[in-house]
Amino acid sequence: MSDNLSFSAVLRVQRLQPLIGAEVSGLDLREPLSAAHREQIRALLLRHKVLVFRDQPIDRQQHLAFAAEFGAVYDHPTTAKPEGAQPGIDLISAVEARRRVKKLQYGAWHTDTSWDVRPVLGGILRAIHVPEVGGDTVWVDAAQVYAGLPDDLKETIDRLHLVHDHHKALQQAGVNQPIVAHPLVRTHPETGETVLYANFLQNPSILGWEPAASEALLERLRREVTRPEFQVRVSWRKDSIVFWDNRATLHYAVQNYGDFPRVMERVLVASDDIPHRKVATPA
């Protein structure tokens, strides 16, 4: 595979890591996308899983419009909202997070809205107020993580389900919905890749397992997720935008910026897919 792909005269793509992540330039995200660029970005997202766009001073309306090119905008019921913002804009703020979690020391590997029956296709984060250094976000390719597991571990997890319990926060937000369990190994609905589908943030537990055994297995999987070979780490600058495939990755926000009031805004793109595992049927 070549290092740099060029789909057209204006769109430039630079890989960030061999397995995951690319920086895309030559676009002005304040403008509506052409149909050709929309399809190219979609293809790039499936291929690289994390797309970084630098120096894009878009406003909220343009942020929403960019997301809407790829699907319906998802209205997250429990994430804080910026004052006066349109529905669909989430506030990802260190000050807000510290208000909820008093001792904010470490991030956690997660995938967004996995507690929903139909978790989102992707997320688009926009950096608004970021520290000069620190506050990076790391993504891991969950298909590579799965592929790299030893066979005995694959066999153990292949038919398991993981409980994603966001019940308390949802109830507090007035949303009453069942606690869901999704397959721990999922087939990506577009690429067909086999993906480790785990979220270490939302009270995870293996469905039907004793707590100690469940925790031990999750700890083992957490270690696999932390392999740098499968990761890309994005250092933010103001007006950086990152679009990630939420079905193929987990991410981790690095909490190393002290009291700095880091502010991001996020728009999520909805999906119809209910996570499932396609298993080959015998001929």
Binding site for ligand SIN (CB under 6 A): 92, 112, 123, 125, 137, 251, 253, 264, 266
State in Å, rounded, how far the first CA of the chain is from the last one.
Answer: 33
**Shortest CB 135 distance to ligand SIN, Å:** 7
d(CA 214, CA 193): 25
**Shortest CB 36 distance to ligand SIN, Å:** 29
d(CA 258, CA 277): 41
Closest CA to 185 of 158, 223, 155: 158
Q: Which is nearer to ligand SIN, 202 or 205 (CB)?
A: 202
d(CA 186, CA 161): 10
Residues with a known catalytic role? 110, 112, 251, 266
Q: Which is nearer to ligand SIN, 92 or 218 (CB)?
A: 92
Q: Which is nearer to ligand SIN, 156 or 203 (CB)?
A: 203
**Shortest CB 107 distance to ligand SIN, Å:** 8
**Shortest CB 97 distance to ligand SIN, Å:** 9
Residue 1 in contact with residue 15, Cβ under 8 Å? no
Q: Looking at the chain, which runs of residues are DSSP E strands?
A: 4-6, 12-15, 22-25, 50-53, 73-74, 90-93, 122-129, 137-141, 161-164, 180-183, 185-187, 194-196, 205-206, 231-234, 241-245, 249-253, 263-269
Residue holding tokens 């957490």?
222
**Shortest CB 282 distance to ligand SIN, Å:** 40
Residue 205 in contact with residue 163, Cβ under 8 Å? yes
d(CA 189, CA 168): 29
Q: Which is nearer to ligand SIN, 218 or 253 (CB)?
A: 253
Q: Which is nearer to ligand SIN, 10 or 104 (CB)?
A: 104
